[in-house]
């Protein structure tokens, strides 16, 4: 209890919004730092991607339950009846006394599904490759660089999760003041998320099946040009960008609203407050898309394949006819 008390007091701010947001982000760096130490000692990246998924799940869980933890601790210290834990099922049904709002549950579950799927997929892939990832070939034996990779992942998690952490950090009064009906941004956001996740999953499955068929000598193709890979050269990355855009869209509908501005402590900021809300939600898809298009996704993949097959006519034709990112309709 002494440790909990210290942590709660250290992360208590005048704005309740920050009292949840700041600790949730700090947790990302704490987890990554904790996983980095044994990884650096053993010089292995086997658990790097898996720890990223764990960090997503942990930060979402903390942001969702921390307000209740604070309320229960305060009630216990004052000798009062402890508030009930959030009722997730009641929240999805629109219950007024559920402790959380349905949007918080939907966004938290959405991220959890994505993180669990991606983490298990990447961990399975690295396990089949003897625990080695070519991205770490030049940094595995350098503790400072290796540590930097883990803290970079903490930053990645924090920025991607920003719209969800922001929604979960809003006080209950915010959602009580929102209209009960489902809004346009809610619908558009959910459709984009479902569509993007489905696109990413389908693309990954097609690529995995293609790899397995190649190992079984069912074909001799050097690169995949069928299915979704015949519509976009990087359909999995397009799906990734789309699903985070959906999460941001649902979030900004709440954050930019009047109650959302009050909950964030931005009441009276006018247009600047709405811009701040848009930035907090939009940083997620913007950062993800930037990484995919300019840093670690498309550039690395395109460079690798260009070196291998850049002089082949069939490869040149595929690049000319298939868009790099946004899929062609026909």
Averaged over 79-86, what is the pLDDT? 88
> Quick check: 12 pLDDT over 90?
no
* 175-184 pLDDT per residue, tens: 888 887 888 9
Local confidence band at 207 (pLDDT 50, 70, 90 cut-offs):
very high
* 216-230 pLDDT per residue, tens: 888 888 889 899 999
> Quick check: 240 pLDDT over 80?
yes
Position 1 scores a pLDDT of 66
Position 253 scores a pLDDT of 94
Residue 301 and residue 234 in contact, taking contact as beta carbons nearer than 8 Å: yes
Better pLDDT: 247 or 5? 247
3-state secondary structure of 265: coil
Tell me 216's DSSP state.
T
Angle subtended at Cα 219 by Cα 217 and Cα 221, rounded to the nearest 5 degrees: 120
> Quick check: 275 pLDDT over 90?
yes
Residue 86 and residue 175 in contact, taking contact as beta carbons nearer than 8 Å: no
Better pLDDT: 315 or 138? 315
Better pLDDT: 208 or 290? 290
CA distances for 153 relative to 32, 150, 196, angstroms: 7, 5, 22
Position 250 scores a pLDDT of 96
With a pLDDT cut of 90, the percent of the chain lying above it is 58
Q: What is the mean pLDDT of the chain?
A: 90
Averaged over 95-110, what is the pLDDT? 87
Averaged over 167-195, what is the pLDDT? 91
> Quick check: 92 pLDDT over 90?
no
Better pLDDT: 130 or 113? 113
Position 98 scores a pLDDT of 74
Round to whole Å and give the CA distance between 228 and 152. 31
Angle at which helices 102-128 and 48-77 pack, to 10 degrees?
150
Round to whole Å and give the CA distance between 140 and 147. 9
Burial 134-169 (b: 16+ CB within 10 A, else e): eebeeebeeeeebbebbeebbebbbbbbbbbbbbbb
Q: Which bin fits 214, alpha (ψ -120 to 50), beta or left (φ > 0)?
A: alpha
> Quick check: 136 pLDDT over 90?
no
Better pLDDT: 164 or 175? 164
> Quick check: 135 pLDDT over 80?
no
> Quick check: 2 pLDDT over 80?
no
């Amino acid at each position: 209890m002494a440790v909990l008390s210290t942590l709660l007091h250290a992360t208590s701010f005048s704005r309740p919004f920050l009292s949840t947001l700041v600790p949730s982000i700090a947790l990302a760096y704490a987890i990554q730092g904790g996983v980095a130490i044994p990884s650096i000692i053993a010089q292995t990246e086997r658990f790097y991607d898996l720890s990223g998924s764990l960090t997503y799940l942990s930060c979402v869980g903390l942001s969702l339950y921390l307000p209740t933890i604070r309320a229960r601790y305060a009630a216990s210290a004052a000798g009062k009846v402890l508030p009930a834990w959030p009722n997730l099922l009641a929240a999805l049904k629109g219950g007024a006394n559920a402790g959380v709002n349905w949007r918080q549950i939907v966004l938290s579950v959405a991220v959890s599904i994505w993180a669990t799927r991606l983490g298990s997929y990447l961990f399975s892939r690295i396990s089949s490759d003897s625990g080695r990832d070519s991205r770490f070939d030049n940094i595995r034996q350098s503790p400072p660089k290796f540590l930097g990779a883990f803290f970079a992942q903490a930053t990645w998690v924090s920025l991607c999760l920003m719209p969800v952490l922001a929604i979960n950090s809003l006080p209950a009064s915010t959602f009580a003041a929102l209209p009960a009906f489902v809004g346009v941004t809610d619908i558009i956001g959910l459709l984009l998320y479902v569509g993007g996740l489905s696109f990413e999953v389908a693309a990954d499955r097609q690529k995995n099946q293609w790899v397995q068929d190649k190992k079984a000598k069912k074909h001799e193709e050097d690169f995949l040009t069928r299915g979704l890979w015949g519509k976009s050269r990087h359909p999995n990355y397009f799906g990734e960008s789309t699903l985070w855009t959906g999460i941001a869209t649902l979030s900004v509908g709440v954050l930019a609203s009047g109650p959302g501005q009050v909950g964030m402590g931005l009441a009276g900021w006018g247009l600047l407050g709405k811009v701040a809300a848009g930035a907090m939600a939009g940083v997620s898809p913007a950062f993800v898309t930037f990484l995919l298009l300019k840093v670690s996704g498309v550039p690395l993949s395109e460079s690798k394949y260009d070196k291998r097959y850049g002089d082949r006519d069939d490869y040149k034709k595929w690049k000319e006819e298939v868009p790099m990112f946004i899929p062609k309709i026909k």
